[in-house]
Amino acid sequence: MRIETVLFDLDETLIEEEASNDASALAACALAHQRHGVNANLLLSALRVHARDLWGAGPAVEYCREIGISSREGLWGAFTGDASPHLAVLREWIPGYRVDAWTRALSQMGIDDGAIAREMADLFMADRKRRHVVFPESRPLLEHLRPRVKLGMITNGASDIQREKIVGSELGEFFDVILVSGEAGLGKPKPEIFRLAIDRLDADESSAVMIGDSLARDVAGAAAVGIKTVWVNRLGRPALDGLHAPDVEMRDLTGLIEWLEGVV
C-alpha cells in the first residue's frame, strides 16, 4: 500500500536538541570562565552530571519519564498549564533545581559563588528559549511532502517546552496534527499516542510511516501498531538488542524523498 501519512518526531529528527542545549550551556559557562577562569567544557560536563542526579531524585521523576521531560529541559522550561497536577509540583521545585544544578557544577570546579550560579541559570534559560536550530534538510523535505501526504508530529515533552520549539523552528505550519505528550497525557512509545495521531488524521496505520531518531520510542512504538518506521540515526549508533528493527535506517533526512518517491 502506498504511503499516505507521514509522522515525524521533533527533537533530533527535525531540529537540533542536544547541540542547542550545549551551545546555550556553554554561553552560560563563559561567565564562569571570564570571572573565575573555569574551563567551560569541564563545567558543562559537571553540569550534566549534577542536573541528572538532581532530576532523578526530584518529586515528579516518574511523570517526567512517562512524558519524556529531560533534566536539561528542566533547566529552561516553565511547565505552565494544568494538564497534570505534576506540573504544579514541577513549577514549585524547578527554580531551586536550576540554581542547585549550576551551584554544584561550580563547586566541583572549586568555585563557591551563589550569585554567578543564579546568573548562569538565568542566562542559560533565556538563551535556550531563543535557540531553535532546524536541520538543513528538514524544511525542504516538509515543503515537498506537504501537498502530497498527510503530515503529523508526535513529540514527547512538556507542553510549553515543545510548543516553544515548534514556534521557534517555524515548522508547525506544515503539520495537519501535532501531538505533544504533555498535552495528551501519555508519551511515546505508548501505542495509544500513535493511534490518536492516526485517528485525528483520519488515516490508516498500514499506509503510514513514522520518522524518528529513537529506536525505543519512535520505532518500537510505531511498529507496535502496524506503522512503518524510518530510524534517523544521525550519530551512527549501533542498534540495541531486543528493540524492533526499523523498516529503513538513514543517517539524516536527505534520502527520505527518494525512499518515498515510489510510494507517495
Find the mean pLDDT for residues 73-78.
96
Quick one: 70 and 176 in the same domain? no
Quick one: 140 and 76 in the same domain? no
Quick one: 143 and 114 in the same domain? no
List the CATH number of the domain containing 223: 3.40.50.1000
Quick one: 144 and 255 in the same domain? yes
Quick one: 168 and 206 in the same domain? yes
Quick one: 122 and 35 in the same domain? yes
Residue that is written with C-alpha cell 541528572 in the block: 52
pLDDT at site 81: 85
Q: Is 70 exposed, middle or buried (0-12, 13-18, 19+ CB in 10 A)?
A: buried
Residue that finishes a domain, picked among 129, 149, 167: 129
Q: Is 125 exposed, middle or buried (0-12, 13-18, 19+ CB in 10 A)?
A: middle
Residue that finishes a domain, picked among 129, 155, 174: 129
Residue span of the structural domain in which 44 resides: 18-129
pLDDT at site 209: 98
Quick one: 101 and 154 in the same domain? no
pLDDT at site 263: 58
Quick one: 178 and 99 in the same domain? no
The pTM is what? 0.94
Give the residue from 169, 212, 170, 172 showing the smallest Cα distance to 6.
212
Quick one: 124 and 184 in the same domain? no
Q: Is the pLDDT of residue 10 over 70?
A: yes
Residue that finishes a domain, picked among 91, 113, 129: 129
Mean pLDDT (the chain) is 95
**Domain count along the chain:** 2
Quick one: 106 and 57 in the same domain? yes
